[in-house]
Amino acid sequence: MRLIIGIDPGKMTGMCLYDLDECKPVGMWEIPNGVKGFTEPFEELLPDDDLADIACEGFTLRSSNKFTADLSGVEIIGWLKGEGYCDSFPEPIQHMQLTRLRKYKDDYAQSPVTKLMKAHGFKIAKGHARMSLSVAIWHAAMKLHHIPSLELLKPKDS
């Protein structure tokens, strides 16, 4: 088994383990309390010999962001960079477009991410775990050029 940790950083952080060999999630969590709540559960996953990579959603402050003064996601990204854990930070539009999870353009129920979660018994809750899986699958497809993950993302012909 080869695993990717996917992270959707924030005050409530989504984190998942994506199995590259089986193209499926094997663990999914929503972790409260920003960087203080995140670091310990994250570091518990690191000794795993099957860990192939880590990917975390990026954050770029721009006028179009619905910015509400909580910078927990930025703190987590800074911690990951500072500790040298991660160097893959796709912007939300990058992974959400590929996995068909855009807010006003896609039907979330038809996303391969949502289908994988349901097929393997994971609850969607507020969506932070789903976004972390989207980040992990994006990383597998776009950075690792993992053919089975790319196939998973192809729209099915009708």
Read off the pTM: 0.90
Structure tokens at 80: 């990951």
In total, the chain counts a number of residues equal to 158
What pLDDT, on a 0 to 100 scale, did the predictor assign at position 26? Answer: 96
What pLDDT, on a 0 to 100 scale, did the predictor assign at position 77? Answer: 95
Structure tokens at 128: 């932070």
What pLDDT, on a 0 to 100 scale, did the predictor assign at position 64? Answer: 63
pLDDT at 158 over 60: no
Q: What is the pLDDT of residues 12-68, one digit of tens each?
A: 999 999 999 999 999 999 999 999 999 999 999 998 788 889 999 998 776 666 666
pLDDT at 1 over 50: yes
61-70, 117-126, 147-156: least confidently modelled range: 61-70
Q: What is the pLDDT of residues 67-109, one digit of tens each?
A: 666 789 999 999 999 999 998 999 988 888 888 888 778 777 7
What pLDDT, on a 0 to 100 scale, did the predictor assign at position 103? Answer: 77
| Phi–psi pair at 107, nearest 5 degrees | -90, 105
CA-CA distances (angstroms) from residue 96 to 24, 38, 48, 111, 151? Answer: 17, 22, 28, 10, 16
Provide the residue type at 85 as one letter: Y
For the chain, list the domains and their CATH numbers: 3-153 (3.30.420.10)
